[in-house]
Structure 1
């Protein structure tokens, strides 16, 4: 089983800059601050030298660093350190030495194991998280303060972004003990997620990220599952973990999203942050299950007047958002139909026709029977935290349509006549 270790502080990834003492010393000397040809050189030691792009970094193979003496003397300005021959070297500054002076030193570092790592300006940097999952990279940050010249400098890297993992299910108790429902999920989308923010090393110990709503570049993140996940209602503790069905890590900008606000009735169009789930929702009934048409008490004995009354109730429920000019209103999943097993009942033909229409329409779009996209508000008490792994419970019992209407209120969604 694949496991990713996501630590608040990566103590196993420690980069030490130490004074000259042995065969690790670099030949020649250069003082970038004073222009001298002598001084105490830096030697970087790190036992780790491997990393895999697209997953959580557990080994640093390169990093970018800024060094400041006192409060303003920036003597190391975004130097990229790599290991071309097994030893750390600052690109373009192979003979690096400490500057003269008694003031202590502060170091800021960033790493994503590429040479495109964010540059640091005035103790900050701006970063944009790619919305295409395969293009995302883990980003590490470190700060080390009050360092005296010539002494070892340790950089303890932390994950700068938020990692996202998912569990999914249908809370059995939330809908009256429902246990006949089957849901098959093929895709998850995080909608209206901030991708751009500013990192400030001055706030490293608390919350270094600032996201400006006017410049957050809100985007959608599509997560295709490697294989469909099917489940039935269960206790929340038994929700399915999707780690094995997602290729790689999912990263987002640390921020607190504003959830889509809907009370479950029509008239709340999609906005702000929500989860989209592409799925097939089916309720199976056995041959022994009583058959009925559960809308305004319609059943196999209903007459034309009762049928017309059900139409009016449907219009009232939608408060003008729907029409019953033809029998298409029966295609709405609010109807909650169970196809009768009695072939002599007149409505059976109508209901079978509706199911055939749904399946034909789905096939035209290259999907499986009854596949559609439903939506769930993205509600997070504390938001996506700095260096945090977020496990989001996708509650399919809270599904809504794009207009904000509760997927299950007041009737059952899609019904298939006989359990195969």
Structure 2
């Protein structure tokens, strides 16, 4: 069939398809329901301040999900050309949200930042940051392969799957059907209209937040684990200027205390240093190179939560309304299974927590019963003696101690006189 005759056939779902791109469908792991579960656990980990026992469980679910996506997107480094693996787009949605959430968790959640889980969270942040560098190169630096002319059968049916060639009613095929990719089979390749991937509206959504996401990725890779950093870095910079014989010690202590006790106090100290210090090469370098980076860090730290919400909305609009195919429906076990697993984990954690509370209450009741066994009627309150133990002289309550006689020199002389008389 010639290419000129292709346009006479019409795709039932839209305008006639003249060119196609070969893709791998989005895996069920990155389906709608697992993504929603991931977003909910991240939000809960950020705002659940007083339930550390439950936050850790939520973090385990979110960290393992995003960690798997990080390793996956690094393995897909060659999977955009020829056959575009759409898991790259889905994994980018997961990891970009994770990088912004990392800033919120490590900077705003004191229960996580002050716990032993902080070390694990920092390692996870490094992994997510590195994977986003790979993801940016795959999505924005790797050019897509040129589309191929659409292939139709004699009945006007568009060739979309490799398995359709078995019927022998197609006199044409696609080159991309014979290409192999890591962790995929040739039978999974699907041909979709070129306009699905070449949609400027959804591409704009994806590009809009690349700058803040990459900055959050670099912050995660820089072991940024202090509260509201790089405010702490600003404090150290100012202290290196103040701690020398030319400044008063009390003034330096006051600046340090004010900077560390208030949110973003390091920035105030840095701006005061820039304003009061004389212009030197160090100050020029600070103003032109370091301050823009610190200001960007301040904005990402303050806006990480709104940016995370906007990023989720943009990515979901791209994935849900972009027409990207998924190889599992929402009713499949791979979609709702993770939600059931998480609910069972939460129920188990709540049961375990309830048993701990019940055990503590049992111990308190047992202690109260032991105290009640001391019968007040068997005690002579006035004398402080137990009636049953009166003969033994056992005393109860607060007993005033008797005065003890201490030997003095006068006693020694009296004993010596008595011995001489005898």
Q: TM-score range by the shorter chain?
A: under 0.3
Structure that is richer in helix per residue: 2
The higher-RCO structure (CA 8 Å, 6+ apart) is 2
Structure that is richer in strand per residue: 1
Return the TM-score normalized by structure 1: 0.23
Return the TM-score normalized by structure 2: 0.23
